[in-house]
Structure 1
Amino acid sequence: MTSTLPRRAGSDRGDVPGRLLTMGVEEELLLVDADSGRPRLSNAAVVADARESGLDLQLELSRCQVETATPVCTRIDDLRQELRVSRTVAAAAAARAGARLLAAAVPPFDTTPPGALTDAARYRRMAEHFGVVTDQVICGCHVHVGVPDRDVAVQVCNHLRPWLPALLALTANSSVTAGADTGYASWRHIQWGRWASGGPPPFFRSARHYDDVVAMMLDAGTVLDPAMVYWDIRLSPHLPTLEIRVCDVPATIEETVTAATLVRGLVSTALTAVHRGDPAPRLEADRLKAACWRAAREGIDGYGMDPLTQRPVPAARLLGSLLEHVRPGLEEAGDFPSARASVRRILRRGNGARRQRRALAESRSTADFVAELARITVEGCEPAAPPPTAR
């Protein structure tokens, strides 16, 4: 729930074509028992083990969660390799601690057991202030894109707001919890709504307006510090980045890379619009919230809300519109062909929500279901990744 992205440059920009914005990704991942699928409260042991292998995992709010963070990257291939390393090393560390690592946005079995809160002063303060809201276990994916000018970043945020539902639909990966289908592709998004600071951000007039709203939230007690501003897009409280937080943690490396590529394309396209003086669409908060609910409900297997007409359209068409919207930014970075091909593969094969449902229907036991989700988590990590770079 906090941003831990290192401040290290990931690639030499000298020979990279076009204007490549820097980016990095954080993934929150689950630890569960291999047989029962119940949350395994062993994040301290997993973090310690991973650090011996050179991977700096972070503790999360619940003891059944860990968080990975890539270095800052400019090339998509570099980002993909860093994600491969992170998941490979974290999965091995989890296994040595007697757990399975799952890229799933909510625990697929059972609820949070007693004593699950990670023992840290900030988390204890949150639990005292917000009560049972802190008992939930939800795993997201946070994409940071370098936008050092805060006034420009706020304008970019306004341009990105209408596309949040499409990103959520694409990455939805929490259809199963308590051993049953929730009826939602992203149950995480529904759970996330319990935080007063969660959901789509307001439309901001300026960075000062942004800061005034955050100050109001602090005064009201809906957040205890700026890192608790859980909007789906926010200015990072400690990095010169715009942070997009709407996504479920995707099921696979490919889906995370695809989401990050689209996010960078969105930011690049928005920057061009800002520099041209194009106004951002003023999508009302209630319409945007409704569109996000529809995305959480149906994912890629139903209908979404067109960001311009606000009429229901098939999710595949919505994602096609997203690709066309960001095409200038993607082409500038040389990412359009691969992004389009990857979106088509996800639509054909299914995202995490669809694959969870398929595994639930086909598994003969809880252990089989957990094993399948664990396999999907490291899908695309072969051949074995080399040791991670120093972090």
Structure 2
Amino acid sequence: MNRTPDSQRPVAVRISSAPEQLAGLTPLLEAARAAAGDVPALLELAKAAAAAAPLPGGGRTAFLWEILASVTAVDVAAGRAIEPHLDASAILAQAADRPAPDGRECPDQGGGHSDGAWGVFAAEAPGLRLEAKPADGCFRLHGAKPWCSLAAQLDHAVVTAHLDDGGRAAFAVDLHATGVSFEDPEWTSRGLREIPSGTVHFADVPAVPLGDAGWYYRRPGFAWGGMGVAACWLGGAVAVARGFKSSLLKAADGGRAPDQLALAHLGEIDRTLTALTGYLARTAGRIDAGELTDTGAWSEALRVRGNVATAVERIQTLVSQNLGPAPLAFDEAYGKRMADLSLYIRQHHAMRDDAQLGALTLKGDHPW
């Protein structure tokens, strides 16, 4: 029996949408496969994905997550490239008509609603600080921001910066503006090699405020965006699982049927992914129903992210143990996927995130 490997047929990841809806993603997934390893093409893919993707909380959150998961299932780095652009689109939409810090009204200085590829830079690091200073009735950025993925190849970014009163706010900034400079990230990672993250320096750079102090973190979209990242992780896990299934089928075609251990592990992977997709479907429905718009949204985000990250690591372990060292040594697509996904899920802070969730649980913020 001659079977076409799953890796040659981009297939959408289903959370809850009808098959005919997911069939419409085929051109986007084919483009993701063609763009693998080509950063300019990945950024064009991000813009195409944004044109097809709904905003979170607008009634089709599950479909948004299916886009993120499906692209990541084709290529983990592609998912990593498109997710910030889609998140920035959502942030800009959510910030419309929001008051700026100190009630300031700033003109769009090239960073507010322009075309191009966007990033979202909200990380902090010891010794690095980005400050937003009032100037000419608006704000200008001074300082440095760490962990800015693909910054030198992007057009704009949403960045968070410290205010004079000690708070933090979000700003839209033109990355081509005078005063923006990029450090060589010296990216030595074997995972996500095409998505380097480095430090960006801002010297008196104009910025457009997005909401008032603390709005970026208070908005329910902050939690929704965190769950969108988890949808990408889920897509990577689905790709690992599909590759494992294909390997077992190929071995069976060659006369070596899977043993009980391989079948047991494939069964565990199946029930894990089935449970996760069901959980994300219910959570997306709750977001669209307006049930996750307060402080409970972040608790749910911590649950979603923790469950998905744990499942990803478990699936990687099961598959790696079953297939052994050969695909890591000789299968470029498999090795890249495993390395990319291992780095990507480190955005989850493991027990530190569980500690956050535990503190909220102790206060009574839990469904049980």
TM-score by length of 1: 0.28
The structure with the largest helix share of the pair is 2
